[in-house]
Amino acid sequence: MREIVFDTETTGRSPEDGDRIVEIGCVEIVNLSPTGRTFHCYLNPQRDVPDEVVRVHGLTGAFLRDKPLFASVVDELMEFFGDAPIIAHNAAFDRMFLNAELRRLQRAETPAERYIDSLEIARAKFRGAANSLDALSKRFMLDREGFDLSARRGAGGHGALVDAKMLARVYLELRGGREQSLVFEDAPVLEETASAIIRVSRAQRTLALPARITAEEAAAHAAFVSTLGADALWKKFAEFADQGEAGGEPPAAVALG
Protein backbone atom coordinates (compact mmCIF):
# COMPACT_ATOMS: atom_id res chain seq x y z
CA MET A 1 0.00 0.00 0.00
CA ARG A 2 1.38 3.41 -1.00
CA GLU A 3 1.15 6.30 1.49
CA ILE A 4 2.70 9.78 1.61
CA VAL A 5 4.16 11.25 4.80
CA PHE A 6 3.66 15.02 4.66
CA ASP A 7 5.03 17.94 6.68
CA THR A 8 5.16 21.72 6.34
CA GLU A 9 6.98 24.65 7.87
CA THR A 10 5.11 27.95 7.94
CA THR A 11 5.39 31.61 8.92
CA GLY A 12 3.02 31.12 11.85
CA ARG A 13 -0.01 29.28 13.14
CA SER A 14 -2.95 30.60 11.13
CA PRO A 15 -3.46 31.04 7.39
CA GLU A 16 -6.50 33.15 8.29
CA ASP A 17 -4.02 35.69 9.67
CA GLY A 18 -1.98 35.64 6.48
CA ASP A 19 0.52 32.96 7.43
CA ARG A 20 1.94 30.94 4.55
CA ILE A 21 3.85 27.73 3.89
CA VAL A 22 7.62 28.18 3.55
CA GLU A 23 8.72 24.55 3.22
CA ILE A 24 7.14 21.25 2.16
CA GLY A 25 8.59 17.81 2.74
CA CYS A 26 7.08 14.49 1.62
CA VAL A 27 8.29 10.90 1.90
CA GLU A 28 6.81 8.02 -0.07
CA ILE A 29 6.27 4.78 1.83
CA VAL A 30 5.01 1.47 0.49
CA ASN A 31 3.86 -1.22 2.93
CA LEU A 32 5.13 0.99 5.80
CA SER A 33 8.66 1.17 4.36
CA PRO A 34 10.25 4.34 2.85
CA THR A 35 11.03 3.82 -0.82
CA GLY A 36 13.63 6.60 -1.05
CA ARG A 37 11.36 8.84 -3.14
CA THR A 38 10.83 12.29 -1.65
CA PHE A 39 9.38 15.66 -2.57
CA HIS A 40 10.96 18.78 -1.07
CA CYS A 41 10.82 22.49 -1.74
CA TYR A 42 11.26 25.86 -0.07
CA LEU A 43 8.67 28.52 -0.91
CA ASN A 44 8.62 32.28 -1.04
CA PRO A 45 5.75 33.24 1.34
CA GLN A 46 5.56 36.79 -0.07
CA ARG A 47 5.62 38.15 3.46
CA ASP A 48 7.95 38.47 6.44
CA VAL A 49 8.94 35.56 8.67
CA PRO A 50 8.68 36.44 12.39
CA ASP A 51 11.85 35.98 14.45
CA GLU A 52 10.20 33.54 16.85
CA VAL A 53 9.33 31.28 13.91
CA VAL A 54 12.81 31.57 12.40
CA ARG A 55 14.15 30.23 15.69
CA VAL A 56 12.16 27.03 15.06
CA HIS A 57 12.97 26.25 11.42
CA GLY A 58 15.77 28.69 10.60
CA LEU A 59 14.16 29.95 7.36
CA THR A 60 14.53 33.70 7.10
CA GLY A 61 12.75 36.03 4.71
CA ALA A 62 16.07 36.77 3.02
CA PHE A 63 16.70 33.06 2.38
CA LEU A 64 13.19 32.51 1.00
CA ARG A 65 13.02 35.62 -1.18
CA ASP A 66 14.27 33.92 -4.35
CA LYS A 67 12.44 30.63 -3.80
CA PRO A 68 9.50 29.60 -6.01
CA LEU A 69 5.89 30.44 -5.29
CA PHE A 70 3.46 27.69 -4.32
CA ALA A 71 1.72 28.11 -7.69
CA SER A 72 4.85 26.91 -9.51
CA VAL A 73 5.19 23.66 -7.49
CA VAL A 74 1.55 22.68 -6.89
CA ASP A 75 1.26 20.43 -9.95
CA GLU A 76 4.42 18.52 -9.03
CA LEU A 77 3.22 18.18 -5.43
CA MET A 78 -0.22 16.88 -6.45
CA GLU A 79 1.39 14.43 -8.84
CA PHE A 80 3.63 13.15 -6.03
CA PHE A 81 0.59 12.75 -3.77
CA GLY A 82 -1.33 10.85 -6.43
CA ASP A 83 -4.34 9.22 -4.81
CA ALA A 84 -2.39 7.94 -1.79
CA PRO A 85 -3.48 8.54 1.82
CA ILE A 86 -1.59 11.44 3.43
CA ILE A 87 0.04 10.92 6.82
CA ALA A 88 0.80 13.96 8.97
CA HIS A 89 1.45 14.61 12.66
CA ASN A 90 -1.35 16.87 13.86
CA ALA A 91 -2.76 16.53 10.36
CA ALA A 92 -5.36 19.28 10.77
CA PHE A 93 -2.56 21.89 10.89
CA ASP A 94 -0.80 20.81 7.70
CA ARG A 95 -4.10 20.23 5.89
CA MET A 96 -5.31 23.70 6.91
CA PHE A 97 -2.24 25.38 5.40
CA LEU A 98 -2.19 23.23 2.26
CA ASN A 99 -5.87 23.90 1.59
CA ALA A 100 -5.39 27.64 2.15
CA GLU A 101 -2.72 27.65 -0.55
CA LEU A 102 -4.97 25.60 -2.86
CA ARG A 103 -7.86 27.99 -2.32
CA ARG A 104 -5.69 30.94 -3.35
CA LEU A 105 -5.21 29.19 -6.68
CA GLN A 106 -8.88 28.13 -6.89
CA ARG A 107 -7.79 24.50 -6.79
CA ALA A 108 -9.70 21.63 -5.20
CA GLU A 109 -8.91 21.19 -1.52
CA THR A 110 -7.71 17.92 0.01
CA PRO A 111 -10.54 16.27 2.02
CA ALA A 112 -10.10 15.46 5.71
CA GLU A 113 -10.91 11.78 5.18
CA ARG A 114 -7.81 11.42 3.04
CA TYR A 115 -5.52 12.17 6.00
CA ILE A 116 -4.17 9.81 8.64
CA ASP A 117 -3.22 11.69 11.80
CA SER A 118 -0.23 10.00 13.44
CA LEU A 119 -0.73 12.18 16.52
CA GLU A 120 -4.17 10.64 17.10
CA ILE A 121 -2.71 7.15 16.70
CA ALA A 122 0.04 7.96 19.21
CA ARG A 123 -2.41 9.43 21.74
CA ALA A 124 -4.53 6.28 21.58
CA LYS A 125 -1.46 4.07 21.97
CA PHE A 126 0.36 6.06 24.68
CA ARG A 127 -2.38 7.67 26.74
CA GLY A 128 -1.16 10.44 29.02
CA ALA A 129 2.37 10.43 27.56
CA ALA A 130 4.07 13.12 25.50
CA ASN A 131 3.31 12.42 21.86
CA SER A 132 5.05 15.17 19.95
CA LEU A 133 7.20 14.04 17.03
CA ASP A 134 10.31 14.69 19.12
CA ALA A 135 8.96 12.70 22.07
CA LEU A 136 8.02 9.76 19.85
CA SER A 137 11.38 9.91 18.06
CA LYS A 138 13.08 9.65 21.44
CA ARG A 139 10.74 6.83 22.53
CA PHE A 140 11.54 4.85 19.38
CA MET A 141 15.26 5.71 19.60
CA LEU A 142 15.56 7.23 16.15
CA ASP A 143 19.00 8.51 17.10
CA ARG A 144 20.16 4.94 16.49
CA GLU A 145 19.06 5.36 12.88
CA GLY A 146 21.19 8.48 12.35
CA PHE A 147 18.73 11.24 13.29
CA ASP A 148 20.32 13.98 15.42
CA LEU A 149 17.62 14.45 18.05
CA SER A 150 19.72 16.79 20.19
CA ALA A 151 20.10 19.27 17.31
CA ARG A 152 16.34 19.71 17.17
CA ARG A 153 16.37 21.55 20.49
CA GLY A 154 18.47 24.33 19.00
CA ALA A 155 17.56 27.21 16.68
CA GLY A 156 16.58 26.01 13.23
CA GLY A 157 16.43 22.41 14.39
CA HIS A 158 13.21 21.62 12.52
CA GLY A 159 12.71 21.14 8.80
CA ALA A 160 9.84 19.75 6.72
CA LEU A 161 11.82 17.03 4.94
CA VAL A 162 13.74 15.77 7.97
CA ASP A 163 10.50 15.84 9.99
CA ALA A 164 8.75 13.80 7.27
CA LYS A 165 11.60 11.27 7.28
CA MET A 166 11.40 10.99 11.06
CA LEU A 167 7.62 10.66 10.94
CA ALA A 168 7.91 7.86 8.39
CA ARG A 169 9.97 5.87 10.92
CA VAL A 170 7.64 6.81 13.80
CA TYR A 171 4.59 5.80 11.76
CA LEU A 172 6.15 2.40 11.11
CA GLU A 173 6.54 1.88 14.86
CA LEU A 174 3.02 3.11 15.60
CA ARG A 175 1.65 0.59 13.12
CA GLY A 176 3.48 -2.30 14.73
CA GLY A 177 7.01 -1.73 13.51
CA ARG A 178 9.57 -4.45 13.97
CA GLU A 179 7.15 -6.33 16.22
CA GLN A 180 4.74 -7.16 13.39
CA SER A 181 3.68 -10.79 13.35
CA LEU A 182 5.12 -13.17 10.81
CA VAL A 183 2.72 -15.90 9.70
CA PHE A 184 4.34 -18.64 7.65
CA GLU A 185 2.24 -20.57 5.17
CA ASP A 186 2.99 -22.97 2.36
CA ALA A 187 1.23 -20.79 -0.21
CA PRO A 188 3.58 -18.39 -2.04
CA VAL A 189 1.88 -15.21 -0.82
CA LEU A 190 3.13 -11.88 0.48
CA GLU A 191 0.17 -9.74 1.45
CA GLU A 192 -0.75 -6.90 3.79
CA THR A 193 -3.69 -7.22 6.15
CA ALA A 194 -5.49 -4.75 8.39
CA SER A 195 -3.90 -6.37 11.44
CA ALA A 196 -0.42 -5.72 10.01
CA ILE A 197 0.29 -9.43 9.62
CA ILE A 198 2.82 -10.24 6.95
CA ARG A 199 2.27 -13.59 5.26
CA VAL A 200 5.43 -15.15 3.94
CA SER A 201 5.75 -18.25 1.81
CA ARG A 202 7.80 -21.18 3.07
CA ALA A 203 8.85 -23.54 0.32
CA GLN A 204 9.87 -27.08 1.18
CA ARG A 205 13.51 -27.93 0.53
CA THR A 206 13.97 -30.47 -2.25
CA LEU A 207 17.43 -31.44 -1.01
CA ALA A 208 18.83 -31.58 2.50
CA LEU A 209 21.45 -29.00 3.37
CA PRO A 210 24.98 -30.41 3.22
CA ALA A 211 26.69 -31.21 6.51
CA ARG A 212 28.94 -28.44 7.78
CA ILE A 213 31.18 -30.65 9.95
CA THR A 214 34.30 -32.41 8.76
CA ALA A 215 34.86 -36.17 8.82
CA GLU A 216 37.37 -35.65 11.64
CA GLU A 217 34.82 -33.74 13.71
CA ALA A 218 32.17 -36.43 13.13
CA ALA A 219 34.62 -39.16 14.21
CA ALA A 220 35.58 -37.23 17.34
CA HIS A 221 31.91 -36.76 18.25
CA ALA A 222 31.16 -40.48 17.72
CA ALA A 223 34.10 -41.39 19.95
CA PHE A 224 32.78 -39.08 22.67
CA VAL A 225 29.23 -40.47 22.45
CA SER A 226 30.56 -44.03 22.78
CA THR A 227 31.78 -43.16 26.28
CA LEU A 228 28.31 -42.13 27.49
CA GLY A 229 26.73 -45.60 27.86
CA ALA A 230 23.89 -47.41 26.14
CA ASP A 231 21.17 -45.01 27.34
CA ALA A 232 22.89 -41.84 26.18
CA LEU A 233 20.44 -39.35 24.63
CA TRP A 234 22.74 -38.76 21.70
CA LYS A 235 22.40 -42.43 20.75
CA LYS A 236 18.61 -42.18 20.80
CA PHE A 237 18.73 -39.21 18.43
CA ALA A 238 21.10 -41.15 16.20
CA GLU A 239 18.57 -44.01 16.09
CA PHE A 240 15.80 -41.50 15.29
CA ALA A 241 17.87 -40.05 12.45
CA ASP A 242 18.53 -43.51 11.03
CA GLN A 243 14.80 -44.41 11.15
CA GLY A 244 13.85 -41.09 9.62
CA GLU A 245 16.09 -41.70 6.65
CA ALA A 246 14.54 -45.18 6.28
CA GLY A 247 10.98 -43.82 6.54
CA GLY A 248 10.31 -45.29 10.00
CA GLU A 249 8.76 -43.77 13.09
CA PRO A 250 10.84 -42.14 15.87
CA PRO A 251 11.39 -44.22 19.01
CA ALA A 252 8.80 -43.58 21.74
CA ALA A 253 11.52 -42.87 24.28
CA VAL A 254 12.66 -39.75 22.41
CA ALA A 255 10.79 -36.68 23.63
CA LEU A 256 10.73 -33.95 21.03
CA GLY A 257 9.70 -30.60 22.48
221 in catalytic set: no
- What 3 state SS string does the chain have? CEEEEEEEEECCCCHHHCCCEEEEEEEEEECCEEEEEEEEEECCCCCCCCHHHHHHHCCCHHHHCCCCCHHHCHHHHHHHHCCCCEEECCHHHHHHHHHHHHHHCCCCCCCHHHEEEHHHHHHHHCCCCCCCHHHHHHHCCHHHHCCCCHHHHCCCCCCHHHHHHHHHHHHHHHCCHHHCCEEEECCCCCCCCCCCCEEEECCCCCCCCCCCCCHHHHHHHHHHHCCCCCCCHHHHHHHHHHHHHHCCCCCCCCCCC
**Which amino acid would we find at residue 231?**
D
Catalytic residue (one of 40, 57, 89, 158): 158
Closest by CA position to 238, among listed 222, 219, 223: 222
Say if residues 144 and 126 touch (Cβ distance below 8 Å): no
Please identify every residue annotated as catalytic: 158
